[in-house]
């Protein structure tokens, strides 16, 4: 059985820099054997953000890739704060928010970009938790996706 770090390496993806808080909050908080991660945006490898609105100037596929990029930013925050993805036992909850047009209805498809990444890292049982995927009129900085998550620690 592979570790989360080994599973991540097999994906051939690169983590972006862990984002710094843009307000008065902690990016990650450990409470007992739970790890809560604040809402993250789609930080790219060069530190810039993906911007746009799904259904307007971003397609569904671009939105899904933005959600995967948010997942990578969350992983970067975990690694910076905990030292290793191996310290996470499983995903408990994901809340995904999609900036989209009023008629857009495929929010779960977009957030699958993050959920599929987590499932590839922690496996189909531990990598999939409960989830909400909702649409928003706007998100900070014109980002298309914001995601927060809760994990159980080993």
What band does 1 get if pLDDT is binned at 50, 70 and 90? confident
Structural domain 33-153, CATH architecture: 2-Layer Sandwich (3.30)
Provide CB contacts within 8 A for 50, sequence distance 6+.
Answer: 41, 42, 44, 66, 69, 143, 144
pLDDT in tens, 98-123: 999 999 999 999 999 999 999 999 99
Mean pLDDT of 88-93: 98
- On average, the pLDDT of the chain sits at 97
Per-residue pLDDT at 22 exceeds 90: no
Position 102 scores a pLDDT of 96
Position 147 scores a pLDDT of 98
pLDDT in tens, 25-55: 999 999 999 999 999 999 999 999 999 999 9
- How far is Cα 85 from Cα 153, in angstroms, rounded to an integer? 10
pTM to 2 decimal places: 0.98
């Amino acid at each position: 059985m592979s570790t989360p770090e080994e599973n991540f390496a097999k994906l051939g993806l690169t983590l972006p820099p862990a984002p710094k808080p843009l307000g008065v909050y902690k990016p990650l908080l450990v409470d007992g054997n739970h790890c809560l991660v604040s809402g993250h945006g789609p930080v790219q490898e060069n530190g810039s953000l993906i911007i746009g609105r799904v259904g307007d100037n971003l397609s569904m596929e671009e939105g899904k890739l933005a959600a995967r990029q948010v997942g990578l930013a969350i992983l970067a925050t975990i690694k910076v704060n905990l030292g290793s993805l191996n310290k996470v036992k499983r995903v408990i909850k994901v809340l995904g928010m999609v900036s989209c047009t009023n008629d857009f209805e495929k929010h779960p498809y977009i957030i699958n970009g993050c959920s599929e990444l987590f499932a590839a890292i922690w496996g189909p049982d531990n990598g999939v938790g409960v989830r909400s995927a909702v649409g928003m009129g706007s998100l900070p900085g014109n980002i298309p996706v914001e995601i927060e998550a809760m994990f159980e620690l080993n």
